[in-house]
Structure 1
Amino acid sequence: MRVLHVLPSLSYKLGGPTQVALNIVRALRDVGIDAEIATTNDDEAGLLDVPIAQRVDYEGVPVWFFPRLARLKAFIPSMGLTRWMVNHLDKYDIVHNHYLFCYAPTVAGRLAQHRQIPYISSTIGQLTPWALQQSRFKKQIYGRFIERSILNRAAAIHCTTPAEAEDARRFGISSPTLILPLGVNPALIIADAAAKLRDRYSLPTNCKIILFLSRLHEKKRPDFLLRAFAQLAPQSHGYHLLLAGSGDANYCDRLKTLTNTLNIAHSVTFTGFVSGSDKDLLLQGSNLFALPSYSENFGIAVAEALGAGLPVVVTPEVQIATDISAAQAGLVISDDLDAWSNALSQLLCDPDLSTQLGHNGQQLAAAKYSWPAIAHKLSQSYDEILTGQPLSFASRS
């Protein structure tokens, strides 16, 4: 079985969806599916330094890169990618699209319809009420004339949570919805991670660290976390907040100005974008993970924190919050500054509770967010689509 995954960019600056696409394809190949990726050389403000219009190994995954024509947010048109799909899409049994409201998956969906190739669309949280309010008018037009018809002709819509499937139904999608979560890769254990992390950022050995690991974006609300953190009186309690991620330069500057306004600049470190062993060190050496996001379809960084044994504090809008509550793997706190400050303080001051929540989170991640298990289920779904069988993991709502 040959499967082509299509998305507008593999830039890590776009956050979790890039990691997801690479991990899905890698896991599928491990279970015998001939999966690869077609995308552009987009790297937000720049371009990825990759070979063009040829199949290359990129982070252990076969990828076809094509030059972007322009960058209109995530739309990212590419004539080279279009021509290649016109000439090569027939070689694949299934097309799996990632992202909505953008060029590459739209073209792939239309071509797949024309060639009668079944395709799946992953909505990656872009149909949540919050997401649909961003660039609202453009999405309404695009949805009415393009996106909704593409999704309604898909063989299936891949959703990571039941809540995401409900979002698809509210958008007017009648295609079957597959409920398959995302996975986390087991990290190599770093000996003395806590001490090494504090040494890396020149922090006291007994300092307690709150970790924010995500894009620095208004949706993720690092500004809200800074205000909640400011109420902890970090200077007197030996707390430190690490904001790990990149974002728009102007927004990052506003966050740094806010730390000065709140008088917490001495207790906040902006690490910039991290990956690989640097990210593992953050996850294994911190005391807790916090993400007060307005909207999060799955939250791959949250799942990674669970896998690393970190207790988490999240908002209900993080759609795996239900799993977290059920497993007692963290605290799910509504949009209230005092409540968030109290939740952070509770975990920082109660090591026994933090340890228990972290242990529960590791068990949750191992049981539910395993890439090999997810790849087997997705492979089974592909086979069911090709043979016309009922989908085993379809939403029953």
Structure 2
Amino acid sequence: MKVLHVIAGMDPKMGGVCQAVRTIVAGLADLGVDNEVVSLDAPDASFLADDSFRTHALGPAKGPWGYSAKLIPWLLDNFAHFDCVIAHGLWLYPTYAVEKAIRQAKSQGPVPRLYIMPHGMLDPYFQRATGRKIKALRNWAYWKLIEGRVINNADAILFTCEAERLLAREPFRPYHPKRDVVVGLGVEEPPAYTPAMRDAFLKHCPELEHQPYLLFLSRIHEKKGVDLLLNAYLKIAAEPVPVAATALPQKNDPAQLVVAGPGLETAYGQQMQQLASGNKNPQAVISFPGMLTGLAKWGAFYHCEAFVLPSHQENFGIAVVEALACRKPVLISNQVNIWREIEEAGGGIVADDTADGAQAMLAQWMQLSPEEKLAMGEHARACFVRNFATGPAANRLLEAIAK
């Protein structure tokens, strides 16, 4: 089988969708599937050289819609080489172009099967969130004109978890896909730990050489609840929480906090740095190393006490699963769609995506004894193996697209 993946861009700075595509391609390749990607990146984009699969970069795209006049002609010329097409993401030109090209090609003969993987972009959060009223109206109009046809004409819609599938039914009408299938999303095993990972991380955060820390690793964006995290951390730091009776010392000073990811240059990112700079507690240190990749990223994971993400909306959370794979407990909101699997496995702490929820989550973590934290880490690893390893997810996806 040969599969074409269509995506707006493969730049790692764009967030989780491009990483999901890389993981999906790797999982399918292990099952003998031949994969290619077409994107609207610039052909000379440096990050494309890091991928082992072939990417047809037809960009750079123009405007916020991500338009490229090259895409539909390329699709029409190359459909015959593929058994199926998976379009990743919604609301941009590439998904529209794929569906339109499929309709045009049908008059000429057989066409590949078309699957849409929304990656959480049908979540009702985006229609209900404060400050998104204009965008919500725009999405309704776009749904009526374009996206509804894309979804309802596809051979199937592929979801990463059951929560995503159910939430996708809420925001738009008419919504009647031919099939909606939960295929999951596997995350590759992290590389085995090496001292070089620690060294690479400490180049970004030398102040943490002998200090425990909590790790946030995602985009610095309002949706991720960074403000909730910082405010909760600063409050906890001002009034340390007593530890469990079996733990020493008698007062549980807060671990330091690493807020890593792209977006520090945005207005929101600058606000978060200003908020952190107001901290006067020498025991509570907040570090902003920027985006961590490669060895530095894995060093951050392996050496943290726990991973924290009080997000207002998270379809899957690849970084959450990477933390689980590294035996790290995860402190997450119940708006991360895989929270049920994690809570059931005992691999973390789950709370509301509110100020009180974030503070309670950190307080609960601090009250755990070292033995309880270690046990939670083992449960985290078991949760990864059972629910999020690449093999089972790739098998489910292959079964879905082979029909």
TM range (shorter): 0.7 to 0.9
- Structure 2 residue aligned with 1:333: 351
1:188 aligns with 2:212: no
Change (3 A) 1:117 1:188: closer
Deviation at 1:31, TM superposition (A): 1.1
Q: Is the 8 A contact 2:198 2:300 kept in 1?
A: no
Distance 2:12 2:327 in 1: 24
Q: Is the 8 A contact 1:347 1:353 kept in 2?
A: no
Q: Secondary structure at the match of 1:318?
A: coil
What residue in structure 2 maps to residue 363 of structure 1?
382
Query: Secondary structure of 1:232's match?
Result: helix
Once the two structures are superposed, residues 248-297 of structure 1 have per-residue CA deviations (whole angstroms, 9 ceiling, x without a partner) of 52221111111123446971111111122211111110001111111111
Question: 1:85-164 to 2 correspondence within 5 Å?
Answer: 85-115=75-105, 116-133=111-128, 134=132, 135-164=135-164
Higher deviation after alignment, 108-117 or 88-97: 108-117
**Amino acid paired to 2:205:** Y
Looking at structure 1, the residues matched to 143 and 5 of structure 2 have their Cα atoms a distance apart, in angstroms, of: 22
Instruction: Give the CA deviation at 1:235.
Output: 10
Normalised to the residue count of structure 2, the TM-score between the two structures is: 0.86
Unaligned ranges ≥5, structure 2: 106-110, 241-252
Tell me if the contact between 1:235 and 1:267 (Cα under 8 Å) persists in the aligned partners: no
Instruction: For 2:273, give the aligned amino acid.
Output: K
2:54 to 62, 81, 85: 62
CA contact (8 A) 2:350 2:361 kept: no
Q: 1:206: Cα distance to partner?
A: 4.9
* Cα distance, 1:106–1:313 mapped onto 2, change above 3 Å: same
Alignment-derived partner of residue 271 in structure 2: 254
The answer to whether structure 1 residue 300 and structure 2 residue 349 are counterparts is: no
Aligned Cα root-mean-square deviation (Å): 2.4
Q: 1:232 to 1:208 in 2, by over 3 A?
A: farther
Match of 2:71 among 45, 67, 81: 81
1:317–1:301 Cα change, 3 Å: same
> Which residue, 187, 190, 201 being the options, matches 2:205?
201
Which residue pairs with 1:387 in the alignment?
Answer: none
Distance in 1 separating the partners of 2:23 and 2:373 = 29
5+ residue gaps, structure 1, are 51-55, 385-397
1:221 to 187, 211, 225: 225
3-state secondary structure, aligned to 1:79: coil
CA deviation digits over 1:72-124, x for unaligned, max 9?
A: 1xx21111223211221232111100010100111012212333432110111
Alpha-carbon distance in 1 for matches of 2:59, 2:281 = 43
Q: C-alpha separation between the residues in 1 aligned to 2:163 and 2:254?
A: 38
Identity %: 26
The equivalent residue for 1:25 is 25
1:48 to 41, 45, 50: 45
Q: Does 1:241 align with 2:257?
A: yes
After TM superposition, give the deviation of residue 223 of structure 1 in Å.
1.2
Task: Determine the structure 1 residue equivalent to 2:2.
Answer: 2
Supply the distance in 2 between the matched residues of 1:277 and 1:204 (Cα, whole angstroms). Answer: 16
Counterpart code for 1:330? G
Q: 1:348 to 1:203 in 2, by over 3 A?
A: farther
The superposition leaves residues 103-147 of structure 1 with CA deviations (integer Å, 9 ceiling, x where unpaired) of 011101221233343211011111111123441121111111110
Is 85-94 or 121-130 further displaced after alignment?
A: 85-94
Paired AA for residue 368 in structure 1: N
Matches within 5 A, 1:376-395: 376-384=395-403
Instruction: Give me the whole-angstrom Cα distance separating, in 2, the residues matched to 1:327 and 1:234.
Output: 32
The alignment covers a number of residue pairs equal to 374
Given that 1:3 and 1:36 are in contact with CA atoms closer than 8 Å, whether structure 2 keeps it comes out as yes
Compared CA separation, residues 341 and 193, structure 1 to 2 (3 A): farther
